[in-house]
């Protein structure tokens, strides 16, 4: 098990280095940081001085090595736009995005899985048909449109929920949370639904397809023949066997939720990393962009590792090295 984790971490290394190379390349090819930092009026001497200070006259590989070493220590330099350390900006914004992503993921799982089980079990009931029709909406409507429609309905017409921002937040150390105040929770509802709806319908459809597949297997027939209760058969034997693909997709989708919260955060003016990123893009704030890119890559790598570990927890057939394997 330990060896497995080590080997996966070693495999993750080239991935991270490749992403680092890409995000480093942004400095060289997207915009000219020297021009941005110097402003309108400067002398050639000032320009050469700055280039030397920034180390931009050093060979490519030396610069890249420095970048990697700094990045590994969480050091991404100063934001061009805000003139503050990038790491600090991201740490400030991360709790908002992570809370939003977590709520969206929990929403998607807590509703998507039961709906998937239900529609898989009772394929022809009218409720299943309703769920399936509803899921089409979730799959096909773009996120920004869902967000705007929700704002229109619940903020503009009904006036129940706020249309933007995080509401009041409480600081727990460096982590600012919106989960402890009523206005924070209210502010979280609409963005979570917007962000989670697509994942919800995706998980529902996935669980449904897997359930239908698993319910046809001999071991489910045999479980019924043993006289187990429906609940044990459906939620024990059947659902557990659908979990491996569901975990895979959920893991990847969690990464996607965090990475692509950009749209939702923009619609709801949610002060998270996505909004930071999109604001940075518009002014070519490269340090922020490259740090964001690396952070997202790191998240995907971490989530994939966790997903692989969960496989082991769920499926005993993957736990090799214990007993004898089947053919």
Partner 1 sequence: MTAPLLEVRNLRVEFPTRRGTLVALDDVSFSIAHGEVLGVVGESGAGKSMTGAAIIGLLEPPGRIAGGQILLNGRRIDNLPYSELRKLRGREIGAIFQDPLTTLNPLYTVGQQLIETMVTHLPLNPAQARAKAIEWLELVGIPAASQRIDSYPHEFSGGMRQRVVIALALCAEPKLIVADEPTTALDVSIQAQVISLLKSLARDKGTSMMLVTHDMGVIAETADRVAVMYAGRIVEVGAVRNVVQQAAHPYSAGLMGSIPPVGRRLERLQQIDGSMPRLSAIPPGCPYNPRCPHAFDRCFVERPELMPAKDNLAACWLYAEQGVPRHA
Residues that bind partner 1 (CB under 8 A): 217-219, 221-230, 232, 236-237, 240-241, 314-317, 323-326
Residue spans of alpha helices (H) in the chain: 2-29, 33-38, 44-54, 60-72, 86-121, 126-140, 143-150, 182-215, 218-225, 230-231, 239-259, 261-267, 273-282, 286-314
As to burial, measured by CB atoms within 10 angstroms (0-12 exposed, 13-18 middle, 19+ buried), residue 92 is middle
Tokens matching residue 237: 């034997």
* DSSP class of 85: B
Q: Please state, in angstroms and rounded to a whole number, the distance separating the CA atoms of residues 254 and 233.
A: 29
Taking the complex as a whole, the smallest distance from the CB of residue 318 to partner 1 amounts, in Å, to 10
Taking the complex as a whole, the smallest distance from the CB of residue 211 to partner 1 amounts, in Å, to 15
Taking the complex as a whole, the smallest distance from the CB of residue 306 to partner 1 amounts, in Å, to 19
**In a 3-state reduction of DSSP, which class is residue 32?**
coil
Closer CB to partner 1, 129 or 240, in the complex:
240
Closer CB to partner 1, 75 or 315, in the complex:
315
Tokens matching residue 209: 């397809």
Closer CB to partner 1, 41 or 218, in the complex:
218
Closer CB to partner 1, 141 or 232, in the complex:
232
Taking the complex as a whole, the smallest distance from the CB of residue 135 to partner 1 amounts, in Å, to 24
Other beta carbons within 10 angstroms of residue 104's beta carbon come to 27
Closer CB to partner 1, 34 or 212, in the complex:
212
How many Cα atoms within 13 Å fall on the side-chain side of residue 161? 22
Taking the complex as a whole, the smallest distance from the CB of residue 4 to partner 1 amounts, in Å, to 19
Taking the complex as a whole, the smallest distance from the CB of residue 317 to partner 1 amounts, in Å, to 5
Closer CB to partner 1, 1 or 225, in the complex:
225
């Amino acid at each position: 098990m330990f060896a497995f984790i080590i080997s996966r971490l070693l495999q993750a290394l080239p991935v991270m280095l490749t992403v680092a190379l890409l995000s480093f390349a942004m400095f060289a090819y997207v915009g000219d940081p020297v021009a941005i930092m110097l402003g309108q009026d400067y002398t050639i001497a000032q320009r050469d001085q700055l280039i030397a200070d920034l180390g931009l006259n050093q060979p490519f590989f030396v610069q890249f090595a420095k970048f990697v070493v700094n990045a590994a220590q969480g050091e991404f330099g100063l934001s061009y736009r805000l003139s503050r350390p990038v790491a600090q900006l991201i740490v400030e914004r991360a709790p908002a995005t992570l809370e939003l992503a977590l709520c969206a993921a929990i929403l998607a799982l807590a509703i998507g899985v039961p709906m998937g089980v239900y529609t898989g079990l009772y394929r022809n009931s009218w409720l299943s048909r309703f769920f399936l029709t509803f899921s089409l909406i979730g799959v096909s409507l773009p996120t920004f449109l869902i967000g705007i429609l929700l704002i229109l309905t619940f903020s503009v017409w009904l006036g129940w929920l706020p249309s933007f921002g995080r509401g009041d937040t409480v600081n727990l150390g460096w982590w600012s949370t919106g989960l402890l105040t009523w206005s924070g929770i209210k502010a979280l509802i609409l963005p979570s639904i917007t962000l989670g709806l697509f994942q919800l319908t995706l998980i529902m459809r996935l669980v449904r397809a897997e359930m239908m597949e698993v319910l046809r297997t001999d071991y489910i027939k045999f479980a019924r023949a043993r006289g187990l209760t429906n609940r044990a058969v459906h939620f024990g034997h059947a659902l557990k066997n659908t979990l491996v693909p569901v975990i895979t997709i959920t893991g990847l989708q969690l990464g996607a939720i965090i990475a692509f919260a950009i749209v939702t955060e923009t619609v709801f003016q949610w002060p998270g990393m996505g909004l930071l990123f999109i604001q940075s893009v518009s002014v070519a704030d490269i340090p922020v962009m490259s740090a964001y890119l690396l952070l997202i890559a790191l998240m995907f790598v971490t989530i994939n590792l966790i997903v692989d570990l969960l496989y082991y927890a769920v499926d005993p057939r993957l736990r090799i090295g214990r007993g004898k394997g089947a053919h």
